[in-house]
Amino acid sequence: MRGGRHVAAVSDASFDLAAGECLALVGESGCGKSVLASALLGLLPGNAETAGSAVLGGLDLLTADERTLARTVRGRRVGLVPQSPAAHLTPVRTVRAQIEETLRELVDTPRRERREAAVAAAERAAFPVDHLDRYPHELSGGLAQRAATALALIGDAPLLLADEPTTGLDRELVDRTADELRRQADEGRALLMITHDLAAAERIADRIAVMYAGRIVELADAGRFFRGRGPRHPYARGLLAALPERDFTPIPGMPPELGALPEGCAFAARCPRATGLCAARPAFDGEVACHHVEEPARA
């Protein structure tokens, strides 16, 4: 609810994610990507409502109570790399103390082993080991992001949920962070990466899910999406065309407000292929939701 109105921030989102696989969820700001992540972890505002199911290891995350989520899901089954690391780091404790405390809560290990694990987690997240004894306010935005990544990796959760994990990082650190997340998937973890960075998604994703106005409008193999015949949805094609290394052509117009979505296709007002058919909302067939699907020769 927002201002007494019901806002469907995410609807009809359906996908699976296997162990060892990376699914990148991409789309413009405000399309509902981070809302979906918050729903999976039970971190939505108190007035939010959820429906459907999200099953992980036999547990439905959408219906689990807060006690279950806090004690058995967050950190244990799902490791979160947050979009805003400053909000997830305790300001009065050093990075080392927070990593060690997180590990102690998950597995009661001797102090020496916790210190070694903290160093290992920092190195895996490309966080400088000589910064472990600093407080969050002493870190740049990029360092805070890497500290949050180290915290997410410490628990060896089977699912990693990375919400904009490369925000504030330069290209070299983006690549290092993406490669570490890919390594986690290669070691058997499932990885859901929410990102604006299509270059990072291309670097590590197995599949791409494109979200627009709260709905997944295309789900595609990453190879086909980036390097093969290309996306099939006009919005997904527009995202790729907007990249500097592609056409560098922005998508015209602005996304609709989630609280005032049109009856039919939410992208129709910005779509060069829109016709009268778009007055009806297109169904998602498991691959694409569009009345004018086409197979471009190349992206």
- The DSSP bridge pattern shows strands 215-221 and 207-212 to be antiparallel
Place of tokens 């949805």: 233
> Rounded to 5 degrees, what are φ and ψ at 3?
60, 35
Cα distance between residue 116 and residue 183, in whole Å = 20
DSSP secondary structure letters along 171-195: HHHHHHHHHHHHHHHHTT-EEEEEE
Closest alpha carbon to 156 in 110, 189, 115: 189
Q: What is the pLDDT along the chain (299 residues), one digit of tens a residue?
A: 555 667 888 998 999 999 999 999 999 988 999 999 999 999 998 888 999 999 999 999 999 999 999 999 998 999 998 877 877 899 999 999 999 998 888 877 788 888 999 999 999 888 999 999 999 999 988 889 889 989 988 878 999 999 998 877 888 888 888 998 999 899 999 999 999 999 999 999 999 999 999 999 999 999 999 988 899 999 999 999 999 999 999 999 999 998 889 999 999 999 999 999 999 999 999 999 999 987 654 44
Cα distance between residue 27 and residue 24, in whole Å = 10
The structure's pTM equals 0.90
Whether 159 and 192 have beta carbons less than 8 Å apart is answered as yes
DSSP bridge partners of 59 = 56
What ranges do the domains of the chain cover?
Answer: 22-230
**CATH code of the domain made up of 22-230:** 3.40.50.300
